[in-house]
Amino acid sequence: MVVGLLLSSAVLWALFTVDYDECGDDEDCIRIAYEVKDTYLFWESNPQEMADKLSELTGEKVVVYPVADEVTAIEAVANGNAEIAMVDGAAGWLGYQVYDLDVVAVEKKPDGRVYYNAAAWVRADSEIAAAYLDDDPDTDPFALMEGKKSCHTGWLKSAGMLIPMGYLIGNGYAEVQGDAEEIESLRATVTSFFHKDSEIPEGGTQYSGYKGALKCMMTGHGDIALVKDTAYRLYCDENEDDVPDGPDWCLDRDEIVMLPSFGQAPSHPVMYDPARMDDETMLLIQDALVALDDDAEGREILSDVLNTAGMVASTAEEHLGTYSDAVSNVPGIRAYLEK
């Protein structure tokens, strides 16, 4: 029995490498630039399943073009190495502003929104929460963030960095440190306003992403989680059907407080280059992405691979046009994008 349990445990934690298909030199196909892992646990859904489903829906060969990060995904489309890229709002905005890329479709939240609010979450017993809940206009929860250890979702992420820092700088809470034309000044600005050991994680580490930032705050590693407004519901709410049991580190909902929103972040867009793709192909891809919601297999891919409720057609101007206002105060953002 012990041997059986050990073998079962080994199987449960088995890793497998995905061999992504490629386009031949003389073959027409659609390449999706997508940030992928080197290996997947066997129960995890990998993006190859999405490519296979889109192949079925378009009638074209669709393959995953693996990239290291979302900025690389944008560059892959801009350089003609991929036809579309699935990225977050910040990377999408970069593609729109610098490379003249357009949006073919955007993710839809469970409540139907195509945006989410960037917000800070703190423990309910913190002085920041007390200042927010006491109805005293003289106690400012945002001012009390100074010196606290912040938990970001990653470097240059929308809800986890760009929007909250744009808000704090624009409203006079934080001062830009260093050269206002250099993006690295943002790192110094974060650690100067918050704490020198604030968590700005690399992708794939335990405190990265929305889930990681929540864990960072809830376990006491940090004081403030900078995430989206729906993060707790997605990762910790035990009343949600898709999350029957939150991780052990999740606090109860009444043990944490969400502060007023810093601003809106666009949901994740799918980008393409209108200079390289004709309208017929664009509409074919757009219809396929929207059609993922039409059957159980597609909905499973939307949930497990893309972590979204569906896709809706859109354009860059419609979806990303107002994002500039939210991040315009970030030091060096314009120069960074124009490099």
- Domain residue spans of the chain: 15-112+267-338, 118-265
Query: What is the DSSP code (8-state) at residue 179?
Result: -
- The pLDDT of residue 244 is 47
For the chain, the helix, strand and coil percentages under 3-state DSSP, each to the nearest 5: 40, 20, 45
- The pLDDT of residue 12 is 45
Nearby residues of 301 by Cβ (< 8 Å), 6 or more positions away: 45, 49, 50, 53, 292
Range scoring the smallest mean pLDDT among 17-26, 188-197, 288-297:
17-26
- Give the pLDDT band (50/70/90) at residue 51: very high
Nearby residues of 127 by Cβ (< 8 Å), 6 or more positions away: 144
34 Rama class: left (phi>0) / alpha (psi -120 to 50) / beta? beta
- The pLDDT of residue 203 is 81
Question: Rounded to an integer, what distance in angstroms lies between the CA atom of residue 33 and that of residue 17?
Answer: 18
- The pLDDT of residue 13 is 46
- What are φ and ψ of residue 53, in 5° steps? -70, -40
pLDDT at 58 over 80: yes
pLDDT at 266 over 50: yes
In residues, how long is the chain? 339
Higher per-residue confidence, 312 vs 23: 312
CA proximity to 90, closest of 179, 175, 171, 186: 186
Hey, what's the torsion of the CAs at 122, 123, 125, 130, to 10 degrees? 20
For 32-54, the DSSP string reads EEEE--S-EETTS--HHHHHHHH
Range scoring the smallest mean pLDDT among 5-19, 120-134, 179-193, 291-305:
5-19
pLDDT tens-place string over residues 63-85: 999 998 888 999 999 999 999 99
- The pLDDT of residue 2 is 52
CA proximity to 34, closest of 24, 15, 21, 16: 21
Query: What is the DSSP code (8-state) at residue 199?
Result: B
pLDDT tens-place string over residues 153-212: 999 888 999 999 999 999 999 999 999 999 999 999 999 999 999 999 988 899 999 999
Question: Rounded to an integer, what distance in angstroms lies between the CA atom of residue 114 and that of residue 269?
Answer: 9
3 by Cβ neighbours in 10 Å (0-12 / 13-18 / 19+) ranks as: exposed
Q: Are 271 and 320 within 8 A, CB to CB?
A: no
Q: Quote the mean pLDDT of the chain.
A: 88
pLDDT at 6 over 70: no
List of E strands, the chain: 15-16, 29-35, 40-41, 61-67, 84-86, 102-108, 115-123, 150-151, 224-228, 256-258, 263-266, 269-272, 310-313
**Fold for domain 118-265?**
D-Maltodextrin-Binding Protein; domain 2 (3.40.190)
In angstroms, what is the C-alpha Rg of the chain? 21
Check if 15-112+267-338 and 118-265 are the same fold: yes
Mean pLDDT across 5-16: 49
Place of tokens 């991929």: 82
For 299-338, the DSSP string reads HHHHHHTS-SSEEEE--HHHHHTTHHHHHTTSTTHHHHHH
Q: Are 113 and 266 within 8 A, CB to CB?
A: no
* pTM exceeds 0.85, yes or no: no
Range scoring the smallest mean pLDDT among 232-241, 257-266, 310-319:
232-241
Q: Which CATH number does the domain 15-112+267-338 belong to among 3.40.50.9100, 3.30.465.10, 3.40.190.10, 3.40.50.720?
A: 3.40.190.10
Q: Are 186 and 178 within 8 A, CB to CB?
A: no
Question: Rounded to an integer, what distance in angstroms lies between the CA atom of residue 153 and that of residue 22?
Answer: 31
pLDDT at 106 over 60: yes
- Give the pLDDT band (50/70/90) at residue 315: very high
Mean pLDDT across 279-284: 97
Percent of the chain with pLDDT over 70: 88
Cβ neighbours, 10 Å, residue 280: 7
Question: Rounded to an integer, what distance in angstroms lies between the CA atom of residue 208 and that of residue 225?
Answer: 11
* The token pair that represents 201 in the structure block: 């994680």
